[in-house]
């Protein structure tokens, strides 16, 4: 499980269930922590509601353990509010291939060695 951090405070988690190694992308369900409500109250969406989706991206980082921060080009959390239900997805873009294999070995193996 990965920890999602905003401005130094843990705001949630994700297993990053999906990924595309050649594109350097990983994404999955965002599981909010108790601090997420405060984050929402202090942060404006990068992209206002479009088809019920808000997107947050400022000051967000990802860690897989103490001092194991994932270097990448961008991270965003999308809030989808449809039919009275709110769900979140977190997406990481621009993960270097050397780090992709280290942080997401299953996605990497599934793509580059599907028979393993």
Cα–Cα distance, 4 to 62 (Å, whole number): 5
What pLDDT is attached to residue 94?
94
Residue 45 has a pLDDT of 58
**pLDDT for res 65:** 85
Question: What gap in Å lies between CA 39 and CA 41, rounded to an integer?
Answer: 5
pLDDT of residue 49: 55
Distances (CA, A) of 88 to 31, 100, 110: 7, 23, 25
Per-residue pLDDT tens digits for 23-65: 999 999 999 999 998 888 777 555 555 555 666 667 889 999 8
Look up the pTM and report it. Answer: 0.85
Task: Give the full edge-to-edge strand order of the sheet including 60-63.
Answer: 31-32, 9-14, 2-6, 60-63
């Amino acid at each position: 499980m990965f920890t999602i951090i905003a401005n130094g405070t843990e705001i949630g988690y994700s297993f990053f269930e999906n990924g595309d190694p050649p594109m350097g992308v990983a994404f999955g369900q965002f599981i909010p922590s108790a601090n997420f409500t405060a984050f929402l109250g202090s942060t404006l969406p990068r992209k206002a509601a479009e088809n019920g989706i808000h997107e947050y991206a400022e000051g967000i980082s990802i860690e897989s353990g103490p001092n194991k921060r994932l270097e990448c080009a961008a991270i965003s959390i999308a809030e989808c509010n449809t039919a009275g239900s709110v769900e979140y997805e977190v997406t990481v873009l621009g993960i270097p291939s050397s780090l992709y294999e280290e942080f997401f070995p299953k996605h990497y193996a599934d793509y580059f060695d599907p028979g393993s």
